[in-house]
Amino acid sequence: MKYFPCLVLLLAVSGCSQQSNVRLDTENQIKNTEQVVQVKTSPSVIKSPSEANNDVLLAEENKDYRILATSGRRVTYPGIALEKYDWVHKYCGRKFMSTTGDAITSTKQRNQRVQQIEYMRLYNEKMLLICKRNIKL
């Protein structure tokens, strides 16, 4: 019975050290996530509509028939009719564009988004034809 207070103290101290390790791991994960977000949202990832043709040809060479999708809360496929979304997702697949999230904080971002959506529309219209031609139902 005289060792009981020592045992309680030992358990309390060891519990605190585990929590601090978990906290450090969580902080490191948050820092790593922030780095990924910064890389994904860099302006260099913005594609201009004129690049769509070359990107479609490259994707076709690699047999990558996925359709480009927005990465916001509601997934959309620019250039694809709403009633075809399920079919596209099932047979062609989708590739999320990291620069098309929900948050727009400036006029510059709004203009870049318009440009990005136009690129996605052109790409998707061409890729849908290629996907239909190459998939095996």
Whole-number Å distance between alpha carbons of 11 and 18: 11
Residue 69 has pLDDT above 50, yes or no: yes
Whole-number Å distance between alpha carbons of 75 and 13: 48
pLDDT value of position 2: 65
For residue 93, count CB atoms less than 10 angstroms from its CB and return exposed for 0-12, middle for 13-18, buried for 19 or more.
middle
The tokens for 16 are 């605190």
Residues 70-82: tens digit of each pLDDT: 888 889 999 999 9
pLDDT value of position 59: 93
- Within 8 A by CB and 6+ apart from 49, the residues are 115, 118, 119, 122
Residue with tokens 């870049």: 112
Whole-number Å distance between alpha carbons of 135 and 137: 6
Residue with tokens 């999708």: 69
pLDDT value of position 11: 63
Whole-number Å distance between alpha carbons of 60 and 127: 8
pLDDT value of position 119: 93
Residues 2-46: tens digit of each pLDDT: 666 666 666 666 655 444 444 445 444 444 433 333 333 333 367
% of the chain exceeding 70 in pLDDT: 66
- Within 8 A by CB and 6+ apart from 71, the residues are 96, 97, 98, 99, 100, 101
pLDDT value of position 14: 61
Mean pLDDT, the chain, whole residue set? 76
